[in-house]
Structure 1
Amino acid sequence: MPSLTDFAELVRAPAALSTPGDVVAGAAAAGALDRRVPALAGASVLLYWAGMAANDWADRHLDAVERPERPIPSGRVAPAAALGLSAGLTAAGLAVAGLVGGRRALATAVPLAGAVWAYDLAAKNTSAGPAVMATCRGLDVLLGASGGQRRRAVPAAITVAAHTYTVTALSRREVKGADRRLPMATLAGTAAVAAATISGGRRQRGWRTLVPAALAGWYAARYGGAQARAAADPTAAHVRAAVGAGIVWLPMLQGALTARAGAAALGVAVAAAAPLGRRLARKLSPT
């Protein structure tokens, strides 16, 4: 029988710390920060874990060659168990979203789940892969906005989607390494994402005015620094480290977006998930 550690590795449990911030940022932008947000964030985590399990099921033959230590090729988790877990987590995520957010939440959660499965089963190894994964993250932000004015959350959704595009593009080269032009291009994208996060937003007073820029700058320094190292030496190890940084430090970007929407203290709380995720990633890889 697989252990809890095996299942945690299968779904890349620490990486799920990067998902609640999507929902919070979307809710803040849409003016929908209410008691439904924690449950919607939980639904987001369940759908994320479902995608990770489905990813390893779909990649089980490739992983047997490139990453034989993963739970399925190593024999610690049976393929059928991984697929069943993914299906169960998907159903649970949709159920939570529907029970908490009703039809408006389901109207986003259902296409989100569909995009997750489409990425794992069809799009991942195609040129459309990064765009499909970016769509997943953008919909995740809009899931948080389902209880408010969703149109106001579209800029935040596009920002998180753009970040996700860069991470996914890098992830396609994390086993074999990349041409240095790839991390250079994603680094330019990260700079644009950080700049877009700082601009605009609601007017605030005092220390709150500094929070979006501080968090966006921290995000750019951490994720951008990892990409700069990959550009200087685009080996598989450096590219993989940049992918991990893009996952681990995403809460900084989400926190900046939340603060930009007028919830500075909450933005700082969201960003606090990043250092925690970094510590956990040392024990269990998020990639």
Structure 2
Amino acid sequence: MARPGPADRTGSAGLAGRGRAWAELLRLPALFTVPGDALAGAAAVGRVGPRTLLAVGSALCLYEAGMALNDWADRAEDARERPHRPLPSGRVRPAAALTAAGALTAAGLAVAARAGRPALAVAVPLAGTVWAYDLGLKRTAAGPLAMAAARGLDLLLGAAATTGRTRPALPSAALLATHTLAVTAVSRRETTGGAPAVPLAALATATALTALLHRPPSPAPTALIRRPPSPAPTPTPLSSPAPAPPGTLPALLAAAYAATSLRPYLHAALNPSPPLVQRAVGSGIRATIPLQSALTARAGAPATALLTAALAPLARRFAKKVSVT
């Protein structure tokens, strides 16, 4: 059998290099943090169904659109501070990144439309928030709030696609948005470092979220009916009894969230240098998965929670090859 010639090897190396450049541009390891949003939203409204998968697909497309658009918008700043990134290094053309952002956004909205009007009604403001963040809000005080809103809407997308309802998922969306707000606030200093106040606030936020995850969700109102006449008629609840306090699985997942996020935030607060701040941001991103899992378990979907939790080691493995920040 003939061995590959120099031209063949050069072509293979070039293809691999382009693939790695796009993996860096799209921050592929961070993709593992996305499916849990929709799954937690679906669990919050009572079930995970086929339409939930459409919400996952839509969320993945919109998330990656934001990644491509982010680097396109930051190409001048990255040329000064991170010249190794795909665009300033010339490995990906700016026009290609912008085209990918537009195509992925269109794909995300199209997939959401397949899930129904309620899903599209959430996906449209989600896409708008992503573009507004990358093109303007990111450098303003509203930047972390916009990113938090995007994550919250991502969770609501799963609820809307699955049942058409979002209200039961609002508490879970609020907790996820709060976590995202803290991570995004820290990320604004990842190239320059800064004062310890921001990572310290993130540490306090993660601690509070861990405590909240150990609390059971508010039980739904219980309807009462009367049994047919009998010697001793008594009111009987129509729905199932109020949920018991969190069991072992939610507690374990809450502990996993704390273990992933708290120590890096503490280190960044003690020494807010760029390397430690970047490490705190990466850990905060990865902590999204156990947070999603804990929210899903609290909603009464342990199998789905375990499925989401299984994405964490994959994210950690691929993050060693491609940075998530």
| TM norm. shorter chain > 0.5 | yes
Which residue, out of 187, 191, 198, partners 1:171? 187
Contact kept in structure 1, 2:182 and 2:202, CA below 8 Å? yes
Query: Aligned pair 1:254/2:299, yes or no?
Result: no
Query: Aligned pair 1:127/2:165, yes or no?
Result: no
Which residue, out of 314, 317, 321, partners 1:276? 314
Query: How many residues of Structure 1 are paired with residues of Structure 2 in the alignment?
Result: 285
Contact kept in structure 1, 2:210 and 2:255, CA below 8 Å? yes
Q: CA deviation at 1:204?
A: 5.7
Which residue, out of 31, 40, 53, partners 2:46? 31
Contact kept in structure 2, 1:159 and 1:197, CA below 8 Å? no
2:320 and 2:58 mapped to 1: Cα distance? 26
Rg (Cα) greater in structure = 2
Query: Aligned pair 1:224/2:262, yes or no?
Result: yes
Query: Aligned pair 1:84/2:99, yes or no?
Result: yes
Contact kept in structure 2, 1:250 and 1:274, CA below 8 Å? no
Indicate the SS of the match to 2:116.
helix
Tell me which residue corresponds to 2:6.
none
Contact kept in structure 1, 2:194 and 2:272, CA below 8 Å? yes
Tell me which residue corresponds to 2:213.
197
Contact kept in structure 1, 2:293 and 2:309, CA below 8 Å? yes
Tell me which residue corresponds to 1:286.
324
2:194 and 2:155 mapped to 1: Cα distance? 30
Query: Hey, which of these two has a bigger chunk of helix by percent?
Result: 1
For each residue in 1:169-200, what CA deviation from the matched residue of structure 2 results, as whole angstroms up to 9, or x when unmatched? 00000001121121111100111112222212
1:61 and 1:193 mapped to 2: Cα distance? 36
**TM-score, normalised relative to structure 2:** 0.85
2:316 and 2:105 mapped to 1: Cα distance? 26
Q: Which piece of structure 1 moves more, 195-204 or 174-183? A: 195-204
For each residue in 1:42-85, what CA deviation from the matched residue of structure 2 results, as whole angstroms up to 9, or x when unmatched? 11111000000000000000000000000000001111000000
1:216 and 1:209 mapped to 2: Cα distance? 11
Q: CA deviation at 1:6?
A: 1.3
Q: Which piece of structure 1 moves more, 14-23 or 3-12? A: 3-12
1:178 and 1:211 mapped to 2: Cα distance? 37
Matches within 5 A, 1:1-287: 3-99=18-114, 101-146=115-160, 147-148=162-163, 149-201=165-217, 209-287=247-325
1:70 and 1:200 mapped to 2: Cα distance? 44
Aligned-residue RMSD, C-alpha: 1.5
Contact kept in structure 1, 2:216 and 2:244, CA below 8 Å? no
Contact kept in structure 2, 1:26 and 1:156, CA below 8 Å? yes
Letter in structure 2 aligned against 1:152: P
Q: CA deviation at 1:211?
A: 1.0
Q: CA deviation at 1:205?
A: 7.3
Q: Percent identity?
A: 51
2:109 and 2:213 mapped to 1: Cα distance? 30
Structure 2 unpaired stretches of 5+: 1-14, 220-241
**TM-score, normalised relative to structure 1:** 0.96
1:215 and 1:34 mapped to 2: Cα distance? 23
1:244 and 1:269 mapped to 2: Cα distance? 21
Q: CA deviation at 1:249?
A: 2.1
Letter in structure 2 aligned against 1:249: A
2:54 and 2:40 mapped to 1: Cα distance? 14
Taking a change above 3 Å as real, the CA distance of residues 212 and 135 of structure 1, as seen in their structure-2 partners, is same
